[in-house]
């Protein structure tokens, strides 16, 4: 693995006093972006991150052996992100675990390269974290990049059958899903986690490689007694499956396989046997 380090910190702006960030203290935050052949989407994502009203955060970009031009902008050195280069694609789950171990901050925010946060996305997530200490992880409001009037999702829902969907997917973006509420788990395309609870849970399951790994982690966190809050003020536009393709063989295989794995791994005790027939019928 090859890496280089850029300047990571800036002073907090005076108008961002709602939550003061210091990367050297335990109340700090690291934003993690995992890249693999994301093309121009990565630059758009990182420019949106640079435009955040919340300043002083620590940022790590992990590149999983990209062969396209997506890392060119970062390699100019005209940015303030730390970059870790992997020699090959180790997967979304493993790359996030690598960055989370490196972060050494109290909070980690995950952001996909095809997700473009609005300027107050990070500030609103951290406001929620400060105001609701009874929650350990937080979901964003995702807007469809193709159809900005439509919701991509407002947190993830897990059904007893083992099926998963984004809450509110396809609904009107304005006027719906505008109230904070507890949800099963966040979509990791734009999410915030208390770093210690992720580490205590063993991080993302690297066998999942990608897809449903965020649901699996959320399931394990909930079994450990942690709760997830949907924060409608934390808004990001999301393309979705921009790298792998929404209907690609890769997407279909990993998506269905990992649904089964999550159910088998996480469904507790007698519920597994009671719900197994429903699960089998649902995925077939």
pLDDT score for 216 = 95
Q: Which two tokens stand for residue 81?
A: 């992100």
Q: Would you give the DSSP letter of residue 13? A: P
Q: What is the pLDDT of residue 251?
A: 77
How far, in Å, CA of 99 to CA of 102, rounded? 5
pLDDT at position 272 is 86
What is the rounded distance in angstroms from the CA atom of residue 129 to the CA atom of residue 237? 21
Residue 255's pLDDT is 74
Please tell me the predicted confidence (pLDDT) of residue 250.
66
Q: Which residue has the tokens 């079994």?
A: 223
Q: What is the value of pTM for the model shown? A: 0.85
Distances, alpha carbon 77 to alpha carbons 5, 41, 71, 219, 281, in Å: 10, 18, 11, 39, 52
Secondary structure class of 126 (helix, strand, coil): helix
pLDDT at 125: 97
What is the domain-level CATH number for residue 194?
3.90.550.10
pLDDT tens for the chain, 284 residues: list them.
Answer: 233 333 332 222 223 333 333 433 434 899 999 999 999 999 999 999 999 999 889 899 999 999 999 998 887 655 678 999 999 999 999 999 999 999 989 999 999 999 999 999 999 999 999 999 999 999 999 999 989 899 999 999 999 999 999 999 988 887 778 899 999 999 999 999 999 999 999 999 998 887 899 999 999 999 999 999 999 999 999 997 545 445 677 677 767 888 998 999 999 999 989 999 898 888 87
Count of structural domains within the chain: 1
- Cα 153 from Cα 112, distance rounded (Å): 14
The structure tokens 């089964």 sit at 260
d(CA 246, CA 240): 7
Helices 249-266/269-283 angle, 10° precision: 160
Range of the domain at 260: 2-283
């Amino acid at each position: 693995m090859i890496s280089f380090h850029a300047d990571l910190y800036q002073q907090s702006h005076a108008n961002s006093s709602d939550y003061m960030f210091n990367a050297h203290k335990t109340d700090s935050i690291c934003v993690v972006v995992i890249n693999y052949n994301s093309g121009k989407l990565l630059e758009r994502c990182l420019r949106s991150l640079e435009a955040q009203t919340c300043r002083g955060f620590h940022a790590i970009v992990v590149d999983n052996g990209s062969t396209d031009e997506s890392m060119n902008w970062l390699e100019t050195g005209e940015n303030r992100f730390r970059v870790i280069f992997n020699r090959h694609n180790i997967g979304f789950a493993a790359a996030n675990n690598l960055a989370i171990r490196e972060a050494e901050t109290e909070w980690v925010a995950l952001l996909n390269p095809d997700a473009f946060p609005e300027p107050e996305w990070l500030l609103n997530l951290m406001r929620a974290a400060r105001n609701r200490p009874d929650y350990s992880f937080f979901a964003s409001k995702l807007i469809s990049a193709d159809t900005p009037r439509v919701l991509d999702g407002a947190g993830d829902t897990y059904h007893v059958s083992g099926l998963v969907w984004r809450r509110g997917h396809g609904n009107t973006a304005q006027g719906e899903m505008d109230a904070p509420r507890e949800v099963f788990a966040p979509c990791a395309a734009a999410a915030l986690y208390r770093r210690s609870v992720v580490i205590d849970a063993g991080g993302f399951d690297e066998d999942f490689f990608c897809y449903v790994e965020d649901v699996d982690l959320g399931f394990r966190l909930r079994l450990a007694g942690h709760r997830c809050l949907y924060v409608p003020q934390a808004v990001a536009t999301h393309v979705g499956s921009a790298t792998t393709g929404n209907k690609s063989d890769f997407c279909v295989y990993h998506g269905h396989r990992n649904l089964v794995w999550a159910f088998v791994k996480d469904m507790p005790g007698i519920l597994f046997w009671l719900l197994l027939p429903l699960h089998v019928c649902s995925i077939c």
